[in-house]
Amino acid sequence: MELIINDSSLNQQYRNVHEFKQYLENIFIPLYTTVTQEKNVLFSKSDLYSSKITSQDTFLDFLTGKVGKGLTSQQKLLSLIQHSHYWDLDSKINNTVSYQWKENTDFDVKALYEASERDKLLISFYSDSFDVFKQLTMTVLKSHQEEIVVHNFIDLPSYEFFSKKESEKKIIIDHTKQYHAVVYKNEQNHPPHFHILYQGEKRGAYQLPGLEERDISLPKKDKKKIDSWIKGNFQQLLDCWNTVHPDRLIDRIPINSEYSLVFSTQDDQNSIQIEYCGSSLGTYCFDTKELKNIRFPTSDIQMIKQFIEDKETELINLWNKLHKKMKAGKT
């Protein structure tokens, strides 16, 4: 994920450098450290260093030891800041449209606008004497019409609360709300899949995108309804997986009722899987235009090759789009 440091939230609000040091050690550095350890991409404005932390001292004064000499938080913060990127050198803000902070029109917060065009995540400095940026969500009004909600982190609990909400995606299957399809985040060692929950308890899983069953334990009557629901909501389930796992994106294009082409960002470059009734039975390489590791009937080869040739441009565009999206959101 891409997070933007809100330079506007440094507004010489700290009474002295020692108060700033205490804030860093107790609040900001624990947040910053956790965010970077989770391999998020941090962006700051290139002139963040000139921001005032007190009425006389800049951020750079503190980092270089010009003030508060010997403070242990300096070296820690400096090493963290050095690993951030400058968003204003490659800004995503559209200069042809207008941006406004809906909740507080007195402030023109460029970092907020930048966050609204990226992953909608912001990190703000905070103090009791300057609590303008204390809210956990901020709304950007784009072109006076479109509203974009940005999540704002002011401490570690606010980030952990957001991360917990994003750690799973749950979809209601039946009108009684007893059955759910759930994708969990912390399952990196397993193939893409989703779980079926009944009254909160796991009743098995389906692998994606082939829908292979894993330890399914459901009454026959319910399973038939759930299988029908899964087929009708297949794209929603794929989107659910891709939202929770932006570094392991998948997609599928059906050839017919039996065969499908499967795209995965974990596969070798420029190749796609060929699945038959949910099982991977070969791959196709765009570079060599060859089918490899074929384990499906040879009588179907020509049909599959013809389908790929007819839709080659569409397939390559989808492959590129998927990998571009992964790189943009890679954590």
pLDDT in tens, 260-300: 888 887 766 678 888 887 677 888 888 888 888 888 888 99
**Same domain, yes or no, for 112 and 207?**
no
Can you read off the two tokens belonging to residue 306?
């013809």
Over the chain, what is the mean pLDDT? 85
The total number of residues written for the chain in this structure: 331
The DSSP-derived string for 162-198 is HHHHTTEEEEE-STTS-EEEEEESS-TTS-SEEEEEE
pLDDT score of 91: 95
Task: Report pLDDT digits (tens) over 60-84.
Answer: 888 777 666 555 666 666 655 666 6
Last residue of a domain, one of 130, 145, 164: 164
Query: Could you tell me if 49 and 11 are in contact, meaning their C-beta atoms sit under 8 angstroms apart?
Result: no
Residue range of the domain that includes 20: 2-164
Structure tokens at 147: 């509203």
Domain boundary among 130, 164, 198: 164
Residues 161/144, Cβ–Cβ less than 8 Å: no
Q: Is 289 exposed, middle or buried (0-12, 13-18, 19+ CB in 10 A)?
A: exposed
Shared-domain flag, residues 239 and 278: no
Mean pLDDT across 7-28? 91
- Domains identified in the chain, total number: 3
Enumerate residues 6+ apart whose C-beta is below 8 A from 317. Answer: none
Question: What is the enclosing helix (H) or strand (E) of 146?
Answer: strand 146-153
In this structure, are 307 and 217 located in the same domain?
no
CA angle, 318 then 241 then 84, to 5°: 80
What global pTM score does this model have?
0.54
* pLDDT tens sequence across 129-157: 888 999 999 999 999 888 888 999 999 99
Residues 177 and 295 in one domain: no
